[in-house]
Structure 1
Amino acid sequence: EFAAMMDDLKKDVVRRLAIDAVMKDVKVGREEAAEYYEKNRDRFAVPETVRASHILVDGEEEMARVKADLEGGMSFEDAAKKYSTCDSAKQGGDLGFFSKREMVKEFADAAFAMKTGEVTEEPVKTEYGLHLIKLTDRKEASVKTLEEVEAEITEGLENEKKASVYRSELARLKEKYGVEFTGDKKDEAPKDDVNKEEEKTEDKAEEKAEEAK
């Protein structure tokens, strides 16, 4: 039994040394990263975003009081702190920048149709209540530059290559020794990180929708 255990240990050492030897040579050059970038520019597109503040109340009576105070000279930010039921009230109603898909349709449609500095004449009704919206800034749609995403692309491509090399080398060693190596696990192979940005965007969209409640 001890001899068998030592034999397995030796095979593990051989496997790890062999795989480490080929892994260290896996590199991704700038030209390769640039080629990936050019072929996948749409994946690095940044949608148009706007920045807005809002005052959220439950009904018409509360909204009437908000409007009266605004007409009386109260600032939008102070009115948000006084009346808004949204957590953003602490920041004067500021929601930060968001894309169209990050907010409920009624809110997004109204905000993206506004001009910077404008306040909605009539409250916008959503499932959360009545919103008075003030648009404070806007960023046009753009595409991230290669410099901005090169490190992310390089890491993702290197991990893809390493995963492929890992599987190939493992198969070669298994064929050579005719046995399964102790400790072989699918999750030992490097994972593909090229899609991380899309996952982040989806998470951010869910967070923004919660903020507007």
Structure 2
Amino acid sequence: MQNDSDRFFVLTGGPGSGKTTLIEALRSAGLATSPEAGRGIIREQLAIGGPALPWRDPALFAELMLSWEMRSYHAAFEQNGPVFFDRGVPDTLGYIRLTGLPVPDHIRNAAERFRYASHVFIAPPWPEIFRQDSERKQTLDEAERTYHALAEVYTELGYELVPLPLAPVEARLRFIFAKAGLSLDVRSQKGRE
């Protein structure tokens, strides 16, 4: 498999830790981004009355999540420059472990095969901003356990975790730009490509 890991950056962590807001800020700054699978799948399944919801059929939900993340990974090759993912293929492995279901070999294989930049940005639990909604039904305790499960999976897979500061979006954005070696003037650079 071709590997563009030097330009594929993952933002991971438990739900309600500000990842999606940060992904939206990265997109507004002119960077290529990939949306989170979980929310998209939940939204689609609720719209059609489908069974692949984490509270109905976690194994089926994980399969759709894996498929979404693999498709997003392949689509990223069409983008120029860095691409920021709101979660990556290894998140599916973390989710399966968290549910207590047996981990299928194909999910473990995918987590090992689909590689991203060696440092992964991880958003720690942030109780002050955590909120539940119609798509995020996890409690803060579940969000914290998700964070730890994902930290364990990415570490086992050889990634270096880069914890995001508990700070406003602009400060987090500057932090990511510095750690990823990107210019703060991405929007003007993108126009010259």
Work out whether the TM-score is over 0.5.
Answer: no
**TM superposition score normalised by structure 1:** 0.19
Structure with more of its chain in helix, by fraction: 1
Larger Rg: 1
Structure with more of its chain in strand, by fraction: 1
**TM superposition score normalised by structure 2:** 0.20
